[in-house]
Amino acid sequence: MALPEFSMRQLLEAGAHFGHQTHRWNPKMDRYIFGSRSNIHIIDLSQSIPLLHQALVKVREVAAAGGRVLFVGTKRQASDPIATAAKRCAQYYVNHRWLGGTLTNWRTISGSIARLRELEGILDGDGAGARSKKELLMLNRERDKLELSLGGIKNMGGIPDLMFVIDTNKEAIAIQEARKLNIPVIAILDTNCDPDGITFPIPGNDDAARAIQLYVDLIADSVLDGMAAGTVASGVDIGASVAPVEPTLAKEFAPETPEAAPVEAVEATEAALDAVPEEPAAS
């Protein structure tokens, strides 16, 4: 078993090195910034690579031990990738709106989840036929509303062991709740983010669709790898199962050695600075 592979080329092609305009930065991110070009901060990917690797190792460890990983990303461009990746690795997600108390008031949230299951039983079972159209319409609306907010965590069964976040500014409440409960947080940090309190920071663009897709795929593949490792450690023959757990994405490029990755990162980031257009399009 091995962690999913990724390379500097993939990060560059995904635009992970592009930060925000220089006037929109958070000074606490200064140590992760390589420089600027045309008033756009350039993220130092030579730091992102080892930090991303550390985060993937943690994800694998949690999954191998049977832990729960919660994917959180409610911004428009992250919503679908977050849900798809979490479902692919049989984990949990919040991709619409974070309800205050989702973690810190789990008992109340559990009650709402129970109501969602009750509605699913009513509307999907024989009980629907005995109700009026108006009542069914109201019940459907209630179910849809609950599904939107809680559908990704209805099978979680308790607070997660690890949280992965896209955009710490957008998901500030979720991070605060995780910190209160001492839940480790992996987060993508753009140049306008606050790295304080993030257990596993990963400097990178948190707006570009290709970058977001790359991040969530790597996290999901690490979960799958951890689950497979945990299954092997338990003595189960996964090769004999009908649908063995295995990472589904094959990565074309990867650093030759962990030691060589930072050197490659510096050279590639320097090249990226020259590749930035003089007047980049506003994102």
Per-residue pLDDT, 247: 43
10-residue stretch averages of pLDDT, the chain, 283 residues long = 88 97 96 96 97 98 98 98 98 96 96 94 76 88 95 96 98 98 98 97 98 98 94 63 46 35 48 50 42
Residue ranges of domains in the chain = 8-103+159-234, 104-157
CA–CA separation, 40 and 25 (whole Å):
10
Contacts of 98 (CB under 8 A, 6+ apart): 72, 74, 171, 173, 174
Per-residue pLDDT, 133: 85
Per-residue pLDDT, 234: 63
Q: Which fold has domain 8-103+159-234?
A: Rossmann fold (3.40.50)
Per-residue pLDDT, 244: 54
Per-residue pLDDT, 258: 38
Q: Which fold has domain 104-157?
A: Helix Hairpins (1.10.287)
Per-residue pLDDT, 281: 41
